[in-house]
Amino acid sequence: MTTSTSLVYLIALPLAGAAILLLAGRRADKWGHLLGTAMSASSFGVGLYQLMLMLDRPTEQRPIGQKLFEWINVGEFKVDAGLLLDQLSICFVLLITGVGTLIHIYSISYMSHDKDRRRFFAYLNLFIAAMLLLVLGDSYLNLYVGWEGVGLASYLLIGFWNQKPAYATASKKAFVMNRIGDMGLSFAIMIAFATMGTVSFAGVQEHAHHASEAALTGMGIMLLVAAAGKSAQFPLQAWLGDAMAGPTPVSALIHAATMVTAGVYLITRSNFVFDAAPTAQLLVVIVGAITLMFGALIGTAKDDIKKALAASTMSQIGYMILAAGLGPVGYAFAIMHLLTHGFFKAGMFLGAGSVMHGMNDEVNMRKYGALRKFMPITFVTFGLGYLAILGVPPFAGFYSKDMIIETAFNAGGAKGIILGVTTLIGAAITAFYMTRVMILTFTGTKRWDDDAHPHESPWLMWLPMAVLAIGSVSSGFLLSRGDALENWLHPLFDHHAEHEAHLFEPIVVSAMALTMVAIGVAIAFVKYARQEVSSVAPENVSIFTKIARQDLMQDRFNEAVFMRPGQALTTTLVAADDAVIDGAVRGVGQVAMGSGSALRGLQNGYVRSYAAMILVGAIALIGAIWVVVQ
Amino acid sequence: MKWLSLLMLLPLAGAAIISALPKSNEKAAKQAALATTLVVMAATIAMAVGFQRDNVDLQFVESYAWIPSFGINFALGVDAIALVLILMSTILAPVVVLAGWNEAHGGRWSVKTFYVLILVLETMMIGVFAATDLFLFYVIFEAMLIPVYFLIGGYGTGERSAAAVKFLLYSLFGGLLMLASIIALYVMSGAQGGHTFDLDKLSQLQMSSTTQNLLFLGFFIAFAIKAPVWPFHTWLPDAAKSATPGTSVLLLGVLDKVGTFGMIRYCLTLFPEASKTFTPLIMILAVISIVYGAFLAIGAKDIKRLIAYTSISHFGFITMGIFAMTSQAQSGATLYMFNHGFSTAALFLVAGWMIARRGSSTISDFGGLQRVTPVMAWSFFIAGMSSLALPGLSSFVSEFLVLVGTFTRYPVHAIIATFGIVLAALYILIPVQKALHGPTTAGNENLKDLNLREKLAIAPVIAIIVVLGFYPSPLLNVINPAAKHVISQMGFTDPVPSIGDK
Amino acid sequence: MNAANYLYISALLFTIGAVGVVVRRNAIVVFMCIELMLNAANLSFVTFSRINGDLDGQVMAFFTMVVAACEVVVGLAIIVTIYRSRRSASVDDASLLKR
Amino acid sequence: MTFTAPVLSYTLLSPILILLGGALIGVLVEAFVSKALRPVVQLTLTLGTLMLSLFQVWRIRGEQSLTPAMGSLVIDGPAVLLQGSILVIAIISIFLIADTEHFTPLAAALPGSAEEREAAQAGNQVTEVYPLTLFAVSGMMIFPIASDLIMLFVALEMLSLPLYLMAGLSRRRRLASQESALKYFLLGSFASAFFLFGAAYLYGFSGSITFAGIRESVIGGSGNDVLLLIGMAFLSIGLLFKVGAVPFHSWSPDVYQGAPTPITAFMAAATKVAAFGAMLRIFYTVFANAEWSWTPIISAIAIISMLLGSLVAISQRDVKRMLAYSSIAHAGFLLSGIIALNKAGLDATIFYLFAYGVATVGGFAVVTLVRDSSGEVTDLNRWKGLGKRSPFAASAFALFLLAFAGIPLTSGFIGKFSIFSAAYENGATAVVITGVLSSAIAAFFYIRVIVLMFFTDAVEDGTAVEIPSILTRATVVISAVITLVLGIYPAPVLDFITDLAIFIR
């Protein structure tokens, strides 16, 4: 593999930004946001430069690496701090730094009233650095560093306003649930090392087909657990809704466009594992399918605009995971949807932020309405994102999501039918809840309080939204034109197992999908545009709505199954430590002291009893002698 | 150059100087202590530079006849493992002195006495790792209890004397068990070619497997109490809660390492067969320690007890690494000992500053410190992240090495232990949330942030944590040959990757 | 008469003395019992001397008598002192020191 | 019948003769020197005698003789070592005894009587303690070198009788002091009777009163085993009584508590050396070949002594009683040296005796320093905060306690290590394990005292620490230095002992 010496700058620049901003403290308040943005932008610049270089190289020479230094080297366990930039990671690099830079710019204005804006930019830079490490690391262990790094950044950013206890709790919840996923990644790495003696991507890829299927299945499942944690997939999805506690740009960048898609990256990156472990692959598909429905259902009931979008994110990533679980045919579509989703969802989140900015940080959509007039640019950019997520041609989502639906149907047999139908229904529900968001927010009558003075956001905020909107419109077309992305990624994946059995013609799939979308939109229209929307959430709703409002009982479930027993166990152990273990030691002490006090009684002060004791001793000796002589 | 005896003499010289100072001049005592520890640190580093890292024999060897009629020598020497631990101890010493500049003031006795005790303890810390004569090791092992006992009982807080006594009795009990084993070894050596305490010669003794098992237990229980391994741990939270932060750092960071160090140096070397016999049991104890310590840390209401419980969990990892008998786990365990010293030091020192400012060590008394005292809060946070083994910080490398090394031979143990990392997230983030985050609660509004001295004390610790997280090679390269040597002495080789099964 | 009988008598005297020490309260009587035990030992010495046909045992008996006399001096001094302080020669009254 | 004049080798006997001479001069001093001068003269005389005797012991080191006194005594390495130890202990004890505060002005006076007050006002002192001490020391010097039953018995009584008297001489709490004298005397005589009866049976068994003769019979196996066994058992009772081993220990707590503290110090330390010295000689030479019969019994006694001493000490509230129980436990530890029955055991026991004796005197010396207006304060609760009031006294006492506990870098550790390893070498595993276990129990109460002194706040109740007189300070300092030196660098002493300690038969 060709080596490069400049990859490290991708990471080093934002990392330096973060370090400077954190160490400089308040001294950097004046210019911190500028430095942060500049660092992110320069990293984007390096990324573009690398893309150009890569385009210039012939296909087989496109991946390049850089060994920074020997990181861990013990026995057979050798891990270098090494970077790998190939066709897959460059997509992520550009998405992360590109969208990241836009969000930096947006944040300059969005956070301008926060006295801790510098710290915010420091965290953003830290996140960019960690996320780049995640996608650039050339081994699972390097990836792991970035993996936990983004978890840390996410924790810091969700809890950015941690003076509110609920936000602090949300950040902790996110970190802990991510750690469960991280544990999965640890296991995967251990399995890789124990079975293949290596943890680098190249090494595992080389040895994977020699390894036993059981090992690979185990590794695959553990990778899936990791992916589920980071990408808020079932059953580790519960943190994402709460993560909306972070400032909205964070939600856009981390909890929509980039970090939460790391799971998709991981599965795609580990294609060589999953291709050889069908059981694990099947599980991936199942998890994706469940989550896409799960998220979609939650989305229908949320009145908090950010939580509705978060549910949507969960659902869309479900699509990606599902696609990634479909094997070589699906990887490219998963990545494509990931990229287009990055644009439109980030755009919509920024739009939501813009709305909140104009509405005194109100997030309840029932208190919105008719904002179209007050925030035209936001409306347009949000609307373009809306069309994209619905999959209306020619917007971005149309290309990516239809591909996934089509691939799902093509998976073959009952599996194909089930997956296809699931994705179609998901599309309909998506259309429903997104339309609901649009209607509640931008149309209808105003329902906001009098002290709200909705206004359009300053240009620093709408400019990034506009750029992302352009992405929402065009990215799908550009990426799929001539199967551009598919061909670009093609050399990375093992295609020998590919089967080209079409259940439906693409056009049929598109038609079905569009029909479903139309149905979803129509229902939403009937339900929200045709009748008055109450500014408080109605209580007399069906049990399903209630359950959906409570995130399908996910928190209740976790609470009942993990938290309560965990707390009980902790309390018990704390008590037992004192009572049983320490108690046993104290008990021994007390026995010693007690027997001491008892024996003390022998010393009763009477000289005759002392003489008796001597006499008894003498008699005992005689007795012993008698025994000996006998 | 007689490096090791020089290292042991320097702190004693410092102690002598301090005791010659007038009692009223507390500042001079502190400065002298700081200067001494810095000199010792410099000397240690100078010595470490000359260490030949590929040579697995003992280096810087010295030996003087001490009690010839028992075959006892004042024999010193280090391998890489001992060197690393001495390095850790001597780096921590000035940090502790600087960080705890004022912690001697609440004590029963003078500031002078405090630093004399600290310096005497430093001599013993060096000696206990450098001793190559079993008798010398034992003498220091036991004698170092005394200064610590007085440091806890005389300068601590709360139930300090009860905690000091508990600490002393537990340790003495363990020590006496070890003494019984040592006596047996000594007598056997007399029967097999002359009384000796030389480690090399003792390791060649012939003994029945029953004897070996019993003697092993004598040593292991002593070390397990010291380390501490579940269920011998209950002294630690009390001692750590009552000791001053600086003392706690030395206690958890250095003294407890004597336990794990002893397991490598003495249990494995002297009783290889018994070590193998007991490995299944010890692995279980280690895993219990990991999970149990973590749960108790989650349930802890007092910040110092919490840190103590996290240490129990961490010592579980170290013990597991030692007995897993793979080069990754063994190297990881030694590296873990080093790293744990610093991450616990950071946690304890910052917690100590927090407690000193707030006047309480109950976690729920704090709140919203991040906004009041950002530097202090950040220091605590980074230390906490190191404790939960966040990648990029030093503990991660060692913890992961232990896990991956254990997994290749004991997958089930490693899997259960890995659950510890989720629990670690909880036990660190719960205090972080309660103390640093949330609204600033009453009583915390006017706390002062770290001053320059405190920043100077904590900065090197955090720097070591970060640098070794990214670049552990300098240490690992020193540790690896020694760890490998331990494994091969025991007749183990790393499990071979199972590729080709298919 | 068989010399062994003297030994039995000696043992009996010794036992009487020992039991007397335990059961009697008056310090003087207790002391007399001890003297009895010493004399029992003396009897044994003399008997063995006779059995063995040498004089060592008898020499020993003389020494014992001298030593016993010294003991009487010291013992009576102590008993008298205590009697003067307490107006009682009962050993059971002297039980301040205990536990 | 021809009378052969006895041949005495005066050089070898000179240490004892000097002591006896000194004691006799002391008696004359009592009669002829004026009351005012007596204390100084007696102290000078006694110290001089002891020093001279020690000097003579030093000079005859290395000498060996079976017949310094017609076969009744023996001088060899162990004898020199034990005599030296006794003398060193006596010398540092004399410094304590010199503090007249401890002794009644008039032993014959009724407690609390007008007579007593007058005597006190007149500045009377019982300077008789000095000659009594010298007599006791001579007895102790003879006890471990006696080589026939007569000398053994005479020495036993010679060391005991003065001690009975001295126990009753306390200035404060005279009733308790007299009671302790009575108990010590009655029980001591009682045990002597057993001893003597045992001696008679040994004579009956072997037909000889000399150790050599008895040993030959033991080796030869001629004679009646029952006589031997009963003889051994009863003789041992007398010896075990002196060392305070369970169940013959019951006098020691009461006597330790009641006697004047300097006497307690002297008695606790020196008697142990003498009695164990005698035991060593008897069990190592005379009974060595009947090992099968006595090791199990002595082991059992050692085990219960260690356990009972340690356990009961935990619940003591009086520092002198606590030290008494600790000495019972130490008797158990020392018995493991007897059981060892090897060269290492001999060396170890001698070392242990010396180290323990010195530390004991030091410990009691500190006890004499803690006083209130009515004399010594031995209630441990009133020792609280001693470390604050007198760091010197408290640190020294802590050092002695650590030595008793056997913490490394004190003499106690080296002693324990050597004696246990010797016992283990002879297969006494159970004794060693019990020893280690009871060391742990013992540590508990030693540490409790340290806690009281250093970590507990003082109660303001008038308990003061007397400014130590030069002599008491000397005792404490000498004992502390010896305790530390023997802990840190014991090699010269150990080598010295190893070279010398060989019994000749």
State the pLDDT at residue A500.
58
State the pLDDT at residue B502.
39
State the pLDDT at residue D79.
93
Per-residue pLDDT of C22-33, as tens digits, reads 999 899 999 999
State the pLDDT at residue B501.
45
> What chain B residue is nearest to A589 in terms of C-alpha separation?
B169
Query: Does A600 sit within 8 Å of D247, measured CB to CB?
Result: no
State the pLDDT at residue A309.
87
> Is D61 touching B (CB cutoff 8 A)?
no
- The answer to whether D326 and D409 are in contact (CB under 8 A) is no
Q: Give the position of tokens 């972080």.
A: B432
Token pair of C28 as six digits: 């003087």
- HSE-CB for B345 with a 13 A CA cutoff: 35
The CA distance from D57 to A266, in Å, is: 88
Query: Does B187 sit within 8 Å of D436, measured CB to CB?
Result: no
Which residues of chain D register pLDDT less than 70?
1, 461-464
Q: Report long-range pairs for C2-11 (Cβ below 8 Å, ≥24 apart).
A: C3/C47, C3/C50, C3/C51, C6/C43, C6/C44, C6/C46, C6/C47, C6/C50, C7/C44, C7/C47, C7/D204, C9/C43, C10/C40, C10/C41, C10/C43, C10/C44, C10/C47, C10/D200, C11/C40, C11/C44
> Is C25 touching A (CB cutoff 8 A)?
yes
Percent of chain D at pLDDT exceeding 90: 60
State the pLDDT at residue D167.
92
Query: Does A629 sit within 8 Å of D190, measured CB to CB?
Result: no
What integer is the mean pLDDT of B483-492?
88
State the pLDDT at residue A58.
85
- The answer to whether D177 and D103 are in contact (CB under 8 A) is no
Of B323 and A473, the one with more pLDDT: B323
Query: Does D490 sit within 8 Å of B164, measured CB to CB?
Result: no
Q: What residues have CB less than 8 Å from D355, skipping those under 6 apart? A: D403, D411, D412, D414, D415, D482, D483, D486
Residues in A 211-240 with any Cβ partner in B closer than 8 A: 211-213, 215
Residues in C 57-76 with any Cβ partner in A closer than 8 A: none
State the pLDDT at residue D262.
92
- The answer to whether B302 and B310 are in contact (CB under 8 A) is no
State the pLDDT at residue D430.
92
The conformation of residue A563, written as its DSSP 8-state character, comes to I
ipTM field: 0.89
Q: Name A139's bridge partners.
A: A200
What integer is the mean pLDDT of B58-80?
91
- The answer to whether A585 and B169 are in contact (CB under 8 A) is no
State the pLDDT at residue B24.
81
Query: Does B502 sit within 8 Å of A211, measured CB to CB?
Result: yes
The CA distance from A489 to A336, in Å, is: 10
Q: Which H helix or E strand runs over D90?
A: helix D77-97
Chains touching chain A, criterion 3+ CB pairs below 8 Å: B, C, D
Chains A and D make contact, 3+ CB pairs within 8 Å: yes
- The answer to whether A461 and A106 are in contact (CB under 8 A) is yes
State the pLDDT at residue A496.
57
The CA distance from D161 to C74, in Å, is: 7
State the pLDDT at residue A162.
84
Q: What residues have CB less than 8 Å from A28, skipping those under 6 apart? A: A20, A21, A35, A118
Omega before residue B228 within 30° of 0, cis: yes
Partner-chain residue, chosen from D226, D250, D254, that has the shortest CB–CB distance to A629: D226
The CA distance from A102 to A581, in Å, is: 58
Q: Which H helix or E strand runs over B65?
A: strand B59-67
Chains C and B make contact, 3+ CB pairs within 8 Å: no
Per-residue pLDDT of B233-290, as tens digits, reads 889 988 888 888 888 999 998 999 999 999 999 999 899 999 999 999 999 999 999 9
- The answer to whether B468 and B399 are in contact (CB under 8 A) is no
Q: Give the position of tokens 């939960």.
A: B388
Partner-chain residue, chosen from B168, B179, B187, that has the shortest CB–CB distance to D447: B168
Q: Which band of pLDDT confidence, cut at 50, 70 and 90, is reported for residue B293?
A: very high
Enumerate the residues of chain C whose CB falls inside 8 A of the CB of residue A618.
Answer: 18
In Å, how far are A300, A524, B126, B311, D444 from A540, measured between CA atoms? Answer: 16, 19, 74, 53, 71
Per-residue pLDDT of B100-137, as tens digits, reads 888 888 778 888 889 999 999 999 999 999 999 999 99
**pLDDT at B438 > cutoff 90:** no
Please spell the DSSP secondary structure of A481-526, one letter per residue.
GGGHHHHHHGGGS--TT-----SS-HHHHHHHHHHHHHHHHHHHII
State the pLDDT at residue B82.
93
What integer is the mean pLDDT of B179-193?
90
- HSE-CB for D488 with a 13 A CA cutoff: 7
Which residues of chain A register pLDDT less than 50?
none
- The answer to whether D387 and D394 are in contact (CB under 8 A) is yes
The CA distance from A25 to B381, in Å, is: 16
Q: Which amino acid is at D324?
A: A
Per-residue pLDDT of A151-166, as tens digits, reads 999 999 888 888 888 8
> Is A113 touching B (CB cutoff 8 A)?
no
Helix (H, G, I), strand (E, B) or coil at A2: strand
State the pLDDT at residue C1.
61
Mean pLDDT (chain B) is: 90
Q: What residues have CB less than 8 Å from A496, skipping those under 6 apart? A: none
- Find the chain A residues whose C-beta atoms sit closer than 8 A to any C-beta of D: 589, 592-593, 595-597, 599-600, 602-603, 605, 607, 609-611, 613-614, 616-618, 620-622, 624-625, 628-629
The conformation of residue B57, written as its DSSP 8-state character, comes to S
The CA distance from D29 to D128, in Å, is: 9
The CA distance from B439 to B451, in Å, is: 23
Helix (H, G, I), strand (E, B) or coil at D371: strand
Chains touching chain C, criterion 3+ CB pairs below 8 Å: A, D
> Is A165 touching B (CB cutoff 8 A)?
yes
